[in-house]
Amino acid sequence: MSSRLEFDDIHCALRESVDGWAKAFLEPGAAERDENHRFDAELYRQLDTELGLMNITLPEAYGGSGLDLAATVISIESLSACDPGMAMSYLSQELLFSHQLYFTWLNEGIGRMPGRHGDILRQKSLAGMAMTEPDAGTDVFGMKTRASEDSDGFVLNGVKQWITNGTNGRYFLVYARTGDNRRDLSLFLVEADREGFVRSSCAEKMGMRSSETGILTFVNCHIPADALVGKLHEGVKPMIRNLAAERLGLAAQSVGIAGRCVSVMRDYVQQRTAFGRPIAEFGQIQHMIARCYAEYHAMRSMLYDTVWSMIEGAPDASLNADATKLFCAHAAEEISRCAIQALGANGYSNAYPVSRLHRDAVLLSIGGGTDEALEKNISRLLTKSRA
């Protein structure tokens, strides 16, 4: 490979297809969905029926396209340029549910996936992953949700919070404590219609409003033995493995937001005049645009370099995924803020998408690993690698 930033014909066609669909169908109602905190289920289904994006990294036998992680990242970036909330719902289903469910069985090497799990994947129903709890976010080992074994399966008790697709998803991968040791966590596939599974909405959010976020409560919720995904007490392995993929998905959202903001800012400053000339001719504006474009270009280069390194199995892929999300999330927030400044009152209003995109960008420094947690991880891994 001469350059890790080169894309093959399939990747290029995918980007063109998703870009075109997003501009034609996702963008027109994005502001309304944001204002009304509305998830559009019919529009979301078109991600599969019109674009074929669901199960994109899975084999055809499971309704997938057999493509690589780069295809998922490209899709998320393109969707995020128009509606990051819709992209977040897609990220949750694609990376946190489908990708994680299939590749956990593939990588654990403990036999074939249960037929029921395969059938669920082929359904492509809206789904998500439940890890965060009211008192356990960054400290995942502090989770209190427990799955106790009984004669024919497990009984779940606990609460999960801030779960993407939580109020409307049909299936969830749920992490729960199964032993007394801090790392005795296991992963379970749970249907939302199980008795003892109760869900409700979270408080209204600052951004990502077109993606529904819920609270999942389990009260003596019985799940069958084959609900276990992978090995008992060894859920940390798939968790860590999939966190890197999730963080690249979130970095892709950052890149999509940043690219759109640079584009809006560039077009606006050429049309807006002050003192008899376009504001693009003023040094302060030129400085802002140049810095934002350079930062956006660095974000995108870093993202896809890390994606290719993960596909190729590079030993530092997880470290670089953390660094990529850290850098890209901060840059997206900074670039979207600059876009608001460049557009002035128009940027602060809802007349242009930059204020909405800025609110969406703020989440990316929090979800999927806070900036502070990533800084700790990166420092620890770098120190360990030099020891």
Which residues, at least 6 apart from 166, have a Cβ–Cβ distance to it below 8 Å?
128, 130, 160, 172, 199, 202, 212, 213, 214, 215, 216
CB 373 within 8 A of CB 138: yes
CB 190 within 8 A of CB 97: no
Q: For residue 95, which of 239, 233, 227 has the smallest C-alpha distance? A: 239
Q: For residue 336, which of 290, 286, 296 has the smallest C-alpha distance? A: 296
Tokens of 320: 């670089």
Tally of residues, the chain = 387
How far apart are alpha carbons 265 and 347 in whole angstroms?
Answer: 9
Q: For residue 93, which of 157, 166, 8 has the smallest C-alpha distance? A: 166
How far apart are alpha carbons 263 and 296 in whole angstroms?
Answer: 11
How far apart are alpha carbons 218 and 17 in whole angstroms?
Answer: 40
312: left (phi over 0), alpha (psi -120 to 50) or beta: alpha
Please confirm, yes or no, whether 195 is among the known catalytic residues.
no
Torsion of CA 29, 126, 161, 184, to 10 degrees: -150
Catalytic residue among 133, 234, 246, 295: 246
How far apart are alpha carbons 88 and 205 in whole angstroms?
Answer: 13
In eight-state DSSP terms, residue 180 is: S
Tokens of 260: 């759109």
Question: How far is the CA of 197 from the CAs of 14, 158, 201, in angstroms?
Answer: 38, 10, 14
Residue type for position 189 = L
Q: Which residues are catalytic?
A: 246
